[in-house]
């Protein structure tokens, strides 16, 4: 998922003052660019996405995105960019020239590594697939497609504007144009049985390149799905069925050569999304565009940034003040350490306890680790990393809460 989905840090936070930190010198640096517009709003989605009747003035947005990149680069100059990710919303509604202008701005203010991963999130409609060549020419080298389901009635219920056939055709276009592609599916959908999901997942694995994102449907507050669910009009699988669907996902993907490297993400070796690894490994990233979050290493502190969410208000802020930041604050040791656990334990590789100690200023609680190990929920690897076990992943939130408390 995306940075703006993650915990917001209050700008009015009280509590211990941030302690200046020694930030690791070898952090990778990624740039997230948010495009906040969609053709229609899917009823399950609570991302920062907006539908506009009038045409979007893309040149104006591109200028504002470039200005925010310049303002961010002034704070963290000299970085080498390992990854760039255009997320949304629906970035595949952007004209390739807009994408090119943003990439030019990144290149103008930072050094882009020759092997940088440059991903764009795309909706799999035939219209959007016609733009893929333009994105490739602009410098994008990886696409992530929101296929969501391979069943037309499920797609209709999810409010999607494409059929399964159209989505698979878009995957085919992506395969021909890009070296690397991924697609997303949502499972544990209304009335979905393990048999149906197994069939769908088999098909997905046959179409997959090196990466798949498989998300369990979450009923997000204040969405049309939440209203239907509350009214008893949307029945999602019960906990036991959801668990069976999850277990089946792990097994089929591992057998198909794409084991989970993160709770919801599966890849062949070296096919992992390098950009998302930057979030999960608590490296450094700039958040550009409406509602984007960043984590920047400035003067030895790790700073949390977030921009104005509403697209037009963001635009005005950038045009008048040069950037749209509404949050920009140093994280305390506790916050950095908690975030490191929360993100890092999602990964199959787990975390390095010595980095936790450096961030928190104290080690993880040995007694708690011992208890979790006795329950088979975490394990230590031969090289001293702490990771969540297969049995622990379904109760990951509880494991993290226990270690962080």
Ligand X SMILES: C[S@@+](CC[C@H](N)C(=O)[O-])C[C@H]1O[C@@H](n2cnc3c(N)ncnc32)[C@H](O)[C@@H]1O
Residues 363-382 that bind ligand SF4 (CB under 6 A): none
Binding residue for ligand X (CB under 6 A) from 95, 194, 215, 242?
215
Residues 248-287 that bind ligand X (CB under 6 A): none
In the complex with ligand X, which residue's Cβ is closer, 220 or 402? Answer: 220
- What does 170 interact with, of ligand X, ligand SF4, none (CB < 5 to 8 A by kind)? none
Q: Of 52, 118, 116, 54, whose CA–CA distance to 90 is shortest?
A: 52
With beta carbons less than 8 A apart as the criterion, state whether 128 and 92 touch.
yes
Residues 110-169 that bind ligand X (CB under 6 A): 121, 123, 146, 148
- What does 220 interact with, of ligand X, ligand SF4, none (CB < 5 to 8 A by kind)? ligand X
In the complex with ligand SF4, which residue's Cβ is closer, 91 or 294? Answer: 91
Cβ 188 to ligand X, closest distance in Å? 9
Calculate the alpha carbon distances from 104 to 112, 138, 144 in Å: 10, 9, 21
Cβ 34 to ligand X, closest distance in Å? 9
Quickly tell me which residue has 């097994």 as its tokens.
Answer: 251
Binding residue for ligand X (CB under 6 A) from 217, 282, 330, 347?
217
Cβ 367 to ligand SF4, closest distance in Å? 43
Cβ 92 to ligand SF4, closest distance in Å? 10
CA dihedral over 110, 317, 285, 33, signed as positive or negative:
negative
Instruction: Select from 35-43, 185-193, 282-290, 356-364 the region that touches ligand SF4 (CB under 6 A).
Output: 35-43
Phi-psi map region of 185: left, alpha, beta (phi>0 left; psi -120 to 50 alpha): beta
Binding residue for ligand SF4 (CB under 6 A) from 18, 91, 96, 146?
146
The residues near 12 (Cβ < 8 Å, ≥ 6 apart) are: none
Residue 1 near ligand SF4 by CB under 6 A: no
Binding residue for ligand SF4 (CB under 6 A) from 3, 18, 30, 88?
88
Calculate the alpha carbon distances from 197 to 150, 184, 274, 370 in Å: 10, 14, 28, 37
- Angle CA(310)–CA(312)–CA(313) in degrees, nearest 5? 65
In the complex with ligand X, which residue's Cβ is closer, 157 or 220? Answer: 220
Residue 188 DSSP symbol: S
Residue 47 near ligand X by CB under 6 A: yes
Q: In the numeric block, which tokens belong to residue 231?
A: 């009214």
CA 127 to chain centre: 24
- What does 41 interact with, of ligand X, ligand SF4, none (CB < 5 to 8 A by kind)? ligand SF4
Phi-psi map region of 308: left, alpha, beta (phi>0 left; psi -120 to 50 alpha): beta
Residues 311-330 that bind ligand X (CB under 6 A): none
Instruction: Select from 40-48, 174-182, 190-198, 289-297 the region that touches ligand X (CB under 6 A).
Output: 40-48
Distance between CA atoms of residues 205 and 164, nearest Å: 15
Determine how many CB atoms are found less than 10 A away from the CB of residue 193: 12
**Crossing angle (nearest 10°) for helices 333-344 and 353-360:** 160
Distance between CA atoms of residues 5 and 346, nearest Å: 15
- What does 86 interact with, of ligand SF4, ligand X, none (CB < 5 to 8 A by kind)? none
- What does 184 interact with, of ligand X, ligand SF4, none (CB < 5 to 8 A by kind)? ligand X
- What does 182 interact with, of ligand SF4, ligand X, none (CB < 5 to 8 A by kind)? none
Q: Counting every residue, how long is the chain? A: 405
Instruction: Select from 2-10, 61-69, 85-93, 240-248 the region that touches ligand SF4 (CB under 6 A).
Output: 85-93
Cβ 276 to ligand X, closest distance in Å? 11
Residue closest to ligand X (Cβ) = 146
Total residues in contact with ligand X, by rule CB under 6 A: 18
Distance between CA atoms of residues 69 and 110, nearest Å: 9
Print burial letters for 150-165: b (CB count within 10 Å at least 16), e (below 16): bbeebbebbebbbbbe
Total residues in contact with ligand SF4, by rule CB under 6 A: 11
Residue 187 near ligand X by CB under 6 A: no
Which residue ranges make up the site for ligand X (CB under 6 A)?
1-2, 44-45, 47, 87-88, 90, 121, 123, 146, 148, 184, 186, 215, 217-218, 220
């Amino acid at each position: 998922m995306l940075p703006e989905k993650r915990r917001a840090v209050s700008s009015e936070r009280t509590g211990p003052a941030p302690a200046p930190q020694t930030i690791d010198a070898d952090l990778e640096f990624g740039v997230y660019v948010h495009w906040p517009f969609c053709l229609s709003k899917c009823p399950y989605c609570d991302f920062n996405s907006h539908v506009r009747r009038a045409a979007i003035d893309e040149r104006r947005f591109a200028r504002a995105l470039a200005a925010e990149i310049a303002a961010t680069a002034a704070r963290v100059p000299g970085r080498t960019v390992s990854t760039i990710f255009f997320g949304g919303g629906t970035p595949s509604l952007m004209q390739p020239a807009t994408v090119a202008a943003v990439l030019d701005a990144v290149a103008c203010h930072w050094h882009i590594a020759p092997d940088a991963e440059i991903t764009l999130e795309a909706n799999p409609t035939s219209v959007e697939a016609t733009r893929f060549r333009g994105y490739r020419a602009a410098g994008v080298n990886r696409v992530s497609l929101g296929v969501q389901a391979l069943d037309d009635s499920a797609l209709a219920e999810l409010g999607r504007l494409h059929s399964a056939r159209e989505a698979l055709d878009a995957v085919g276009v992506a395969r021909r144009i890009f070296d690397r592609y991924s697609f997303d599916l949502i499972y544990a959908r209304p009335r979905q049985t393990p048999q149906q999901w197994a069939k769908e997942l088999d098909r997905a694995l046959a179409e997959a390149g090196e990466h798949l994102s498989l998300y369990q449907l979450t009923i997000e507050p204040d969405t049309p799905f939440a209203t239907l669910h509350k009214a008893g009009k949307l029945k999602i699988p019960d906990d036991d069925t959801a668990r069976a669907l999850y277990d089946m996902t792990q097994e089929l993907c591992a057998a198909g050569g794409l084991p989970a490297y993160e709770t919801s993400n599966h890849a062949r070796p070296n096919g992992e999304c390098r950009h998302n690894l930057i979030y999960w490994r608590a490296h450094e990233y700039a958040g550009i565009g409406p509602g984007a979050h960043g984590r920047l290493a400035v003067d030895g502190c790790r700073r949390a940034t977030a921009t104005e969410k509403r697209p037009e208000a963001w635009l005005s802020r950038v045009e008048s003040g040069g950037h749209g930041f509404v949050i920009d604050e140093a994280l305390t040791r506790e916050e950095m350490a908690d975030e490191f656990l929360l993100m890092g334990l999602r990964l199959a590789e787990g975390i390095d306890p010595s980095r936790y100690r450096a961030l928190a200023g104290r080690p993880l609680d040995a007694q708690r680790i011992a208890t979790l190990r006795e329950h088979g929920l975490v394990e230590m690897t031969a090289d001293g990393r702490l990771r969540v076990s297969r049995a622990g992943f379904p109760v990951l939130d509880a494991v993290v809460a226990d270690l962080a408390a």
